[in-house]
Structure 1
Amino acid sequence: MIGEPEIDGDWHTASGAEGVAEALPGEPGRERVRGVARRPWLWALGGVVAASAVWAGTLVVQDRFPDLPRLDYVHSPDLCKEFELKTVGQAAGREFEGRQSGEGVYLAQDWSYCTVSTPYQEGTVMYGAQLLVELHKKQDPAGEFATGPGTDPATRLDTGERYEVVGLGERAVLDPYYANGGARLMVLDGGAVFTLTVQWFRLNDDKAAGVDGSAMQAAMVEDMRTLMAKLKR
C-alpha cells in the first residue's frame, strides 16, 4: 500500500560512477605518480574508457529494470525544513509549531515525513498537519495511488466527495473528511507520491464550527505546489 513506507533491503550505497571517481586517485601508477610527464593522449584515452564504462553500466541497469518509475524529485532527510505551510497557516489564522520529522532510505523506496500542529488555546480551533513524501525507485505506484486509508488509519475519508485537482503532478485528488474535520491531498508524479493531511477540531466539538473547508483545501493545494517546486531536481 502506498501510504505505508516500504522497507526492502539494505541502505543504499554510492553509484558506480561515483565509485569509479573515488577509486582512481588511490590506484598505483595513476594520479599519485610524481615527476613523470604523462602524455596528453593518455588522459583523453582514460576519459573515453571511463565514459564508456559508465554508459555500459547504464545500459545494463536499463536492460534489467526497463520499467523503473521516473523520479524528478530529490529526497529530503529533514522534510520539516521544506514544509512551510504558509497558505494553510493564513487560512487557519494560526501558526504551526511542534515540528517532528523522520525519513528512511531503502532499495525500493525513499520516504520522509513531517508533522506540525498549532498550540492549544482555550476556545479556539486546533489544527494538525502531516506531510509524507514517497519516492518509489523500483515499482510504479500508479496502480495503487489513492486507494489506501491514508497516513492515519483512524481517519474517515469521504471518498464520495473526492475531486480531481488539475495542474498538479500527473494526477492529484483531494478527499475531505466526514463532518468537515479535515482533508487529504494526494499527488502522483512519476515515482513520487505526496500526501498532505490537515485536520482541524475544537475540543468538545467534532465539527469545529467556523472553519471554511473549501478555503483550507485550496490552501493545501497551493502549499503542495510550493513544496513540489522546492524538491524538483
Structure 2
Amino acid sequence: MIGEPEVDGDWHTASGAELAAEALPGGPGRERVRGGAGRAWLWALGGMVAASAVWAGTLAVQERFPDLPRLDYVHSPDLCKEFELKTVGQAAGREFEGRQSGEGVYLAQDWSYCSVSTQYEEGGMVYGAQLLVELHKKGDPEVEFATGPGTDPATRLDIDERQEVQGLGDRAVLDRYYAQGGSRLMVLDGGAVFTLTVQWFQPRDALPGTIDENAMDAAMIEDMRTLMTKLKR
C-alpha cells in the first residue's frame, strides 16, 4: 500500500503530477483546486503512477524469468530453533535433544539442516530425526522430487509402499524404511522442499516393544505442518 508521506508546508513549484492534472478534462482554463483536497488528488494520481510502475516491473521480471519457482518460505540459518518435534516426541514418549544444525546460502539454492536424537536409556528405544529444508531459487525441483535417498544415503526406502499425503504443500509423500524402523516425509511447495526423517533403533538390551507406525506418521505430518507455518513468509 502506498501511503501519503509527510510534507511540511505547501508546494510552490508545479510537479509532474500537477502538470498531469492540468491535462485532465476541463483544460488549462479551469479553476485549479487548492488546499487539502487538491493535494489528496495529486497524491492519489502519483500513487496510481507508482503502482503502475511496480506492476510493470513485476511483469517484466516474470517475462524475463518465466521458469523461476515460487518461494513462499524464508531461509532459516539455524533450523534447530524452528524444529520442535513436539508431536513426534509425544508419539515416541521421549524428548529429543542433542541438536546439530548447518546451513548454506548459494545463488541457485539455500538450504538448512537440523539433526536431533534421544538419549540412550537402558532397556528403551533410541530415536533420531533429521530435517532438511531446500529453497530452490533457479530450477523447479518438481521433476526430481522424492527420487533421492533423503537425508541418509545408506537407508533403503520401500517406495512400493509410498503414501500420498493430502493437504500438505503442492505434493507430499510418506515412505517407510525397508528392513528397519523409520519413515521419511517429503513435501514439495513451489520451490521449497522439506524432508523429515524419523528413525528408531532397538538396542540389544532393550525390552521387546513395538512402534505404532501410523501414530508416528501422523505425528510427523503434524510437526511438518507446524514448521512450514513458522517459515511461511
Q: Which residue of 1 aligns with 2:67?
A: 67
Kindly tell me: are residues 178 and 48 of structure 1, through their superposed partners in 2, closer, same or farther at Cα, counting changes over 3 Å?
same
Q: How does 1:1-233 map to 2 (within 5 A)?
A: 41=15, 57-204=57-204, 209-233=209-233
Does 1 or 2 have the higher relative contact order (CA < 8 Å, sep 6+)?
1
CA 1:125–1:61 in 2, change beyond 3 Å: closer, same or farther?
same
1:41 Cα offset (Å): 3.7
Letter of the structure 2 residue corresponding to residue 119 of structure 1: Q
SS, match of residue 197 in structure 2:
strand
Superposition deviation, residue 226 in structure 1: 0.7
1:51 Cα deviation (Å)? 6.6
Partner Cα separation in structure 1 for residue 185 and residue 57 of structure 2: 38
**C-alpha distance in 2, partners of 1:170/1:181?**
27
Q: Conserved in 1, the CA contact under 8 Å of 2:122 and 2:205?
A: no
SS at match of 2:211: coil
Structure possessing the higher radius of gyration over alpha carbons: 2
Give 4+ residue runs of structure 1 displaced > 3 Å after superposition. Answer: 37-60
- How many percent identity over aligned positions? 79
Q: Secondary structure in 1 aligned to 2:157?
A: coil
SS at match of 1:144: coil
Q: Distance in 2 between matches of 1:76 and 1:138?
A: 19
CA displacement at 1:54 relative to structure 2: 5.4
What's the TM-score, normalizing by structure 1?
0.76
Mapped partners of 2:46, 2:98: distance in 1? 53
8 Å Cα contact 2:146/2:186 also seen in 1:
yes
CA displacement 1:50-93 (0-9 Å, x = unmatched): 77775555444322211111111111111111110000000000
Distance 1:179 1:167 in 2: 29
Cα contact 2:141–2:191 (8 A) shared by 1:
yes
Q: Report the residue type matching 1:96 in the other structure.
A: F
Q: Any conservation in 2 of the 1:180–1:213 contact (CA below 8 Å)?
A: no
Unmatched runs of 5 consecutive residues or more in structure 1? 1-36
Q: Residue 121 of structure 2 aligns to a residue in which SS?
A: coil
Stretch moving more, 56-65 or 149-158: 56-65
Please report how far the alpha carbon of residue 48 of structure 1 lies from its aligned counterpart in structure 2 after TM superposition: 8.5
Relative to structure 2, which stretch is displaced further, 55-64 or 142-151?
55-64
- Number of residue pairs matched? 200
Cα deviation for residue 132 of structure 1 reads 0.5
More helix by share: 1
91-100 or 102-111, which deviates more: 102-111
Q: Which runs of 5+ in 2 are unaligned?
A: 1-10, 18-42
Q: In the superposition, relative to structure 1, how do residues 194 and 93 fare at CA in structure 2: closer, same or farther (>3 Å)?
A: same
2:6 paired residue number: none
Give the secondary-structure state (helix, strand or coil) at the position aligned to 1:95: coil
